[in-house]
Every structure is written in structure tokens, then in C-alpha cells.
A = this chain, B = another copy of it.
């Protein structure tokens, strides 16, 4: 948790620091991110940085928390009543929320993704000491429910499918980002892209690619 000092900062300055840090971590990853570059970018003194945060880990964890928090804003109503929808609809809503978020906050999404991509890194293990297991438990519950309802084949290997879904989550973002990289589509086109990408995923997960 950042120090009080940080939260007392004028919003603008705080935002600049967060943005600079996000950009640094997104570009270089946790290990290679440089506090020196962050303070240079945010135009603050090195000492100031350490008045705001306890250490490198502290900023990173804070950013992660902010990201999680910000992501909540994008969660669609569908996901708030998971009992009312079938599994694939929920999944579609989840991915779409995620991609909406990523579209509007690309760098933040990038560093948010690192947690899943580099699950094995000590810093991420620390961040998700409980979180990750909770996530798995939630997924598992959803899957079991879906099986009971006959939406999903009962013969699947649940831990394996959870792993796959997590992996594909990361893959979604990467694919999406690569496919739009360098372009400046107008918004409508991007919206279509997002929807298309999501649908591809859902279809893939539901039906595979084999001929029926």
C-alpha cells in the first residue's frame, strides 16, 4: 500500500505518476522496470518517489489493485447475475468486458495481463496468494453448474479446462492487440473487431474446429 503522502497528492500529479509507472511496467515488465525512468518520466525527484511508495513492489501492487478496481467498471450486468445466463453467454460477456477495458486502457490492460502471463513470477505469486485460488474456485463452480445444466460435456477434465481458459484469456488480448496494432481505425470499426474476436473465441471454445 502506498503511503498517505501519495493519496494526498493533487489528482493530476497522482495520475501522471500512475500513468508513467503503468507505462514503464507495461513496456519493461516488473524486473526490468526502472524507478529512475519512472521518476524522470513523471518529473519528480527520486526521493519523492520513496515518499509515496515503500518500494518497487509497492507501486506495482498498487497499480494492480487500481487495475482490478478499474476493471470492475467494465463488468456488464450479465456478469452480476451469473445464475441467469448460460455458461457461454457469461464467458462472452466476460471477454467482452475485458476487451472493452483493454481497448480504452491499453497499457493498463497490458500490465494487468502480465499477472496471468507470468503466473510463476514471485511478485505475482505474492499478489495472488489468495486471489488466484479464489478465481479458480469461481471458474470451477461455473463449470460444474454448466455441466449440471447440460451446457457443457460432462466428460471434460475440469482443472485442465480452467488452465486453458486462463491461457486463452491472455491469448485473446494479445491477438486483439496485434491485430489492431499500428492502425487507427475509427471507433465503430474497432467495436466490430472486438465483437468479432470475442465471438471467434466463444465459438472455438464451444465447438472446437473439427467438423461436426
Contacts and interface: CB of A to CB of B under 8 A. Distances in A.
B210 A153 contact: yes
A150 B157 CA distance: 28
Contacts of A212: 153, 212
- How many of these chains are in the complex? 4
Range for the number of chain A residues in contact with chain B? 35 or more
A210 B206 CA distance: 4
A183 B64 CA distance: 32
Contacts of A1: none
Interface in A161-180: 161, 163-164, 167-168, 170-171, 174-175, 178-179
Interface of A: 29, 31-32, 88, 117, 119-120, 150-153, 156-157, 159-161, 163-164, 167-168, 170-171, 174-175, 178-179, 197, 200, 204-212
